[in-house]
Amino acid sequence: MTDSSPHPHWQTAVHAYARHLNDYVARGDACDWEGMGQPDDPPELSPLLPLLMEQLRAANAQRDAATLATFRSQWPPLHEATQPLLEDNAQGIGALAWLPDGSLLVRTGAWYEPGQVWMVRGLETRTLPDVAMFGASPDRQLIALAGDGRLRIMRGGEPGPIAELPLPPRDEALPPTLADLAEDDAVIQQLIPFNDGLRAVVVRADGVFLCRQDGIQRLLPTAAELQEQADDEDPCPVRLDMVHAAVSPDGRWIACGQQDGRHRIFDGHGQAVCEIGPHGEYPHHAAFFADGRQVALNACHFYNGATIAVDIDAFDRIDTDFYEDHPAVRVVDPGGRIYASAPVAGGLVLGDAYGYLRAVDATGTLLWKQHVGSTLSAMATSADGRMLAVGSFSGTVHLIDLHSAEANPEQVGARAHREVCRWLFWKQEASPLAW
């Protein structure tokens, strides 16, 4: 391969800037960020970027783990250092899911962008052209694949689907007035199969749906909300902003929401249970903690927000308004607009608009945090709980070893875990690059 001897300036500058950021974060945490200014600007490393990319491509051409490990030690990655390349290369990572054999599925492009589904196995990558979107069950044993108008539920290495479920037609459960206005381009934003393989939640801009072999049930908007919209003097097509959903580990609960209104809870069979007032202006994200005893509900305002944890035992008696206190509700993250999350032992990892991962428990105790850069867009934990995959709008997928507390010197955070690799799914590259 091309000579990839370390460039002292890059390595020294990246490590020095990471030390500065870690010191800045430690001082900010110590004073609760009172009076903290901005960190120093990142080092100017743009002149080295062409050489970096040339040697990164050459290292990838070898498809050899030792070669790539050597390259990474000589050219340590740092988001801030490669920012000049993002204008032409960045794209969202719309979904991530680990397969039981350790392979990783990656959907490039945010849901509103054209993209591809890739499978990463070791250092090998290939596209899955027949798959438009995918999603993992809460126990990470099943994968739902959507494509060609079908929804297939797959288990592990079994060659064929264990079930096929219907996908919602564009006019599913719409009043005639709204059915006439329904658009044909409803793209799946989230896909969540249940552990039993018999049900799946489908999230699109036109609604949240519970799909079963015997039919489809619309969860959002409700029938009453749809009729009110249809009765408007000038009705418009159904289109929900910031629509989202989550399924509990035991399949008993579905949490969902959208920009207008409160957080909604349904049981696993689609029966409405309760509504919970957000502690922010607009519901934005939902997730269940690893043990399933609490649901995390995020609401945002611009690029900030707040996340609450709600005890599932209170679902049958809670009915709160915006910002309303309740004994079963606790604020576990007071500042972040959360775009992605993943369960981990003892808590939940929250990914925010500023590129931070924060692992919290159900009381709001911070377990660890680290900065990966760019707005986060997707996250997935492996079935054994060891690996965390994190995708961002920079077109990068970070692979983090949750069992390793020894962070690399270029990493930024508090009690951060070691990043073992990052994949660049960049628009201008012929294929993904491992770094």
Report pLDDT for 8: 86
Tell me which amino acid residue 319 is: D
Burial level of 231, CB count in 10 A (0-12/13-18/19+)? exposed
Q: Are the C-beta atoms of 288 and 246 separated by less than 8 Å?
A: yes
Question: Pick from 311, 319, 408, 416: which is nearest to 359 by CA?
Answer: 416
- Model confidence at 201: pLDDT above 70: yes
Give residue 156's pLDDT band: very low, low, confident or very high (50, 70, 90): confident
SS (H, E, C) 356-385: EEEEECCCCCEEEEEECCCCEEEEEECCCC
Sheet holding 282-288, edge to edge: 282-288, 294-301, 304-311, 329-333
Give residue 183's pLDDT band: very low, low, confident or very high (50, 70, 90): confident
Q: Write the CB contacts of 71 (distance below 8 Å, at least 6 apart in sequence).
A: 4, 55, 56, 59, 435
Question: Pick from 91, 102, 17: which is nearest to 399 by CA?
Answer: 102
Report pLDDT for 158: 80
Q: What is the CA radius of gyration of the chain?
A: 22
pLDDT tens-digit map of 248-301: 999 999 999 999 999 999 999 999 999 999 999 999 999 999 999 999 999 999
Q: Which helix (H) or strand (E) holds 397?
A: strand 396-401
Report pLDDT for 112: 84
- Model confidence at 3: pLDDT above 70: no
In degrees and rounded to multiples of 5, residue 145 shows phi and psi of -120, 125
Cα–Cα dist 405/398, whole Å: 16
For residue 7, give both structure tokens: 């460039």
pLDDT tens-digit map of 101-137: 999 999 999 888 888 999 999 999 999 999 999 999 9
Q: Are the C-beta atoms of 286 and 350 separated by less than 8 Å?
A: no
Report pLDDT for 408: 96
DSSP 127-153: E-TT-SEEEE-TTSSEEEEEETTEEEE
Cα–Cα dist 344/387, whole Å: 10
What whole-number percentage of the chain has pLDDT above 90? Answer: 94
Report pLDDT for 184: 78
Cα–Cα dist 214/397, whole Å: 37
- Model confidence at 2: pLDDT above 60: no
Cα–Cα dist 133/271, whole Å: 26
- Model confidence at 4: pLDDT above 60: no
| Count of H-run helices and E-run strands, the chain | 6, 30
Domains of the chain: 91-434 (2.130.10.10)
**Over residues 20-33, mean pLDDT:** 95
Q: Which residue has the tokens 């037609």?
A: 169
Report pLDDT for 1: 42
pLDDT tens-digit map of 318-376: 999 999 999 999 999 999 999 999 999 999 999 999 999 999 999 999 999 999 999 99
Give residue 6's pLDDT band: very low, low, confident or very high (50, 70, 90): low
**Over residues 179-208, mean pLDDT:** 95
The residues that bridge with 359 in the sheet, in sequence order, are: 349, 368
Cα–Cα dist 85/50, whole Å: 10
Question: Pick from 281, 234, 245, 244: which is nearest to 260 by CA?
Answer: 281
**Over residues 4-26, mean pLDDT:** 90
